[in-house]
Amino acid sequence: MPTDAGYRIDPASPAGRALALARAPWPRRVSILGSTGTVGTCALSVLRSQPGRFVVDTLAAGGRVRELAAQVKEFSPAHVVVRGDAERAELLALTDLSPDQVATGARGLAEAAARPVAVVLNAVSGAAGLPATMGAVEAGATIALANKESLVLAGELVDRRARVTGACVVPVDSEHAGLFQCLAGVGLAAAFARLVLTASGGPLRLRADWADATPEEVLAHPVWAMGPRITVDSALLLNKGFEVLEAKALFGVPLSAIDVVIHPQAIVHALVEMVDHSTLAQLSVPDMQLPVQLALSWPDRLPAPIPALDFARARRLDFEPLAPGRFPAFDLARQAAEKGGIAPAVLNGADEVLVATFLEGRLRLGDVPALLAECLEAVPDAFADTLQAIDAADRAAREAARAALKRRGVAAPALAGEALR
């Protein structure tokens, strides 16, 4: 929220409400949506490290049924969600779950997100995670949000409904968790000049000919172990552009209040520059267990199963500006954010198709930004004020991406973006 001297966090924004969240009793009942993905398995590791503090109410996953079955046997959830009927039948055969404990699809996911628990962790990958976020928002839940697409596609809708239902969001992305911690330290009344997200720069930061990088080279991220799509988007810095949109929606601040800098060591996760030009930073080893645990335990802090930061070994912290034009996909994300409406949803939907095509070795990495720009031009502007409008934009974007690929003689993957991961 702008002030004469800078900005303040909107206390009614999704993260603003979370900053004022009252302590919940222990043990806390939690739902882990996307439990077989990178963040979901990280969350279950956190639960193992905190015996007696958490009880698993719901697990949701997509096609990794054997992994999910092992999780069910270990954590004994009351409720489970899988992709479809085939996965449901397989899971029932592998576990002692009863049929009424297992739901399917996007509807089952949304209903699971609305179950009465202390925290809903949404770690579902891609646009498919939006129904879960909206289900939790409508239930007035506390949401530990790792699915940034929910705010990229529907930030205004999430914010509007959350103001009605009282839902709040504790961010799980390491950078937004860093901002959240810095802002918790200064309080909602403090005025700041800007919020700063850091970016490691990924595996192609120093490579001039990144346009011809192979999937194997792109997936070799120097710092983070993430899913394939987010790793590609990180190399393009499109993911950082999406994180700017996420920060805008989370904290209720304008785009002009959010900056990005390159920080290769990924030790400083975020900075907040106050109006007096004092700058606060959140530092830790780059390990997702910390922001996941913080989101599940907030506003309490627990000992974390990660090493402390060793300043004797972390001998330097480098920062570099984001060179204009160096990462055209990042520029497109900023443009989509400024345009508003369905533009971010179009960018995300097209990206899911194009990245899947690149990962199959049938598209140059350097062609992705130009194709994204084509898709943004191809889909007419519209308001993103309902889930139906956002879903239509997502479908139109995927069709536009497939059409753009076809004009180049490239076949898109049959399925780009699963219902659940």
pLDDT in tens, the chain (421 residues): 666 679 999 999 999 999 999 999 999 999 999 999 999 999 999 999 999 999 999 999 988 999 999 999 999 999 999 999 999 999 999 999 999 999 999 999 999 999 999 999 999 988 999 999 999 999 999 999 999 999 999 999 999 999 999 999 999 999 999 999 999 999 888 899 999 999 998 878 877 788 889 999 999 877 777 788 989 999 999 999 999 999 999 999 999 999 999 999 999 999 999 999 999 999 999 999 999 999 999 999 999 889 999 888 877 899 999 888 889 999 999 999 999 999 999 999 999 999 999 999 999 999 999 999 999 999 999 999 999 999 999 999 999 999 999 999 998 887 654 433 3
The SS3 assignment for 237 reads coil
In the prediction, which pLDDT does 201 show?
85
Q: Are 30 and 191 in contact (CB under 8 A)?
A: no
Burial-class residue 386 by CB neighbours within 10 Å (0-12, 13-18, 19+). exposed
In the prediction, which pLDDT does 398 show?
96
**Omega prior to 51 cis, within 30 of 0:** no
- Whole-angstrom distance, CA of residue 396 vs CA of residue 114: 29
In the prediction, which pLDDT does 99 show?
97
Strands 192-199 and 268-274: antiparallel
* 11-173, CATH topology level: Rossmann fold (3.40.50)
State the alpha helices, DSSP H only, in 76-173. Answer: 85-94, 105-113, 130-138, 149-165
Is the C-alpha dihedral spanning 421, 239, 44, 162 positive or negative?
Answer: negative
In the prediction, which pLDDT does 418 show?
41
271, two tokens: 């900075």
256, two tokens: 């002009």
Give the pTM: 0.93
Q: Are 140 and 119 in contact (CB under 8 A)?
A: no
